[in-house]
Amino acid sequence: MFSASSRYRGVPTVAVPDRQGRIVRATQARPLPEVTGTFRHVVAAGDRLDQLATTYYGRSRDWWHICDANPDSLSPLGLLSDDPVVTTEFPLGDGDPPWARLIAAVQELSGVEHVRVVDDAAGPARPPWSLRVTHNRVTVAAEEIAAALRSVPVGVGEWVVLDRLGREIVVPPPVTGG
């Protein structure tokens, strides 16, 4: 059923009921392999998994080995900071912000999934309070979230998208035999 180079080759099929109760054949969930390699890659803007696979393995189709080695990323797009759902941190002005109004103003926006208050106390260079907002950047841009925060009103500093750019990902050694 799968080609010799498929990561699903050798994964057993199972009989499972579908939504209507009919028994159908399906491929069993593929367990993630143990990764023992020590190769690391620092994610840069414009990185693509197929290009990384070509660089490290000589085969663009082996991109999924890199995904398997980084199970904390839920999607291949998120692994390289191209996921539409991102978390953006908005530093807030000094004082005690009106939290309920701030959070309500942000949660009203379509595309916002989660809002969290962060007490950094990171020092004099940054305000002590910030909001971390997980949102779909296709649906709602960071600029729109900042505008909603300013409508409360509260001072909003320069926001930062907390993604993988500049961070390391694991690149496992090449798999021998396929």
| Residue 134 belongs to domain with CATH number | 3.30.70.100
Check: CB of residue 86 under 8 Å from CB of residue 162: yes
What pLDDT score does 178 carry?
47
In angstroms, the CA 21 to CA 103 distance is 44
In angstroms, the CA 150 to CA 147 distance is 5
In angstroms, the CA 91 to CA 70 distance is 29
Query: In which band, very low, low, confident or very high, does the pLDDT at 21 lie, cut at 50, 70 and 90?
Result: confident
96-106 burial code (b ≥16 CB/10 A, e <16):
ebeeeebbebb
Q: Are residues 149 and 114 in the same domain?
A: yes
Evaluate if residue 166 carries a pLDDT over 70. yes
Mean pLDDT of the region 67-92: 86
| pTM, to two decimals | 0.60
Evaluate if residue 79 carries a pLDDT over 70. yes
Evaluate if residue 161 carries a pLDDT over 60. yes
Is 75 inside a domain boundary? yes
Q: Are residues 74 and 98 in the same domain?
A: no
37 vs 76, more confident = 76
What pLDDT score does 37 carry?
61
In angstroms, the CA 14 to CA 25 distance is 6
Q: Are residues 111 and 154 in the same domain?
A: yes
Residue 45: which CATH number? 3.10.350
Is 11 inside a domain boundary? no
Is 29 inside a domain boundary? no
Percentage, residues of the chain above pLDDT 90: 37
Per-residue model confidence as pLDDT tens digits over 26-57: 887 766 666 666 688 999 888 999 999 999 99
In angstroms, the CA 175 to CA 66 distance is 11
Q: Are residues 126 and 169 in the same domain?
A: no
Per-residue model confidence as pLDDT tens digits over 1-14: 677 777 777 778 88
Mean pLDDT of the region 114-134: 78
Q: Are residues 56 and 109 in the same domain?
A: no
Structural domain boundaries enclosing 67: 36-82+164-178
Mean pLDDT of the region 11-32: 80
Is 22 inside a domain boundary? no
Burial class (CB in 10 A: 0-12, 13-18, 19+), 162: middle
Is 15 inside a domain boundary? no
8 vs 113, more confident = 113
Q: Are residues 108 and 72 in the same domain?
A: no
Mean pLDDT of the region 71-93: 85
Q: Are residues 57 and 96 in the same domain?
A: no
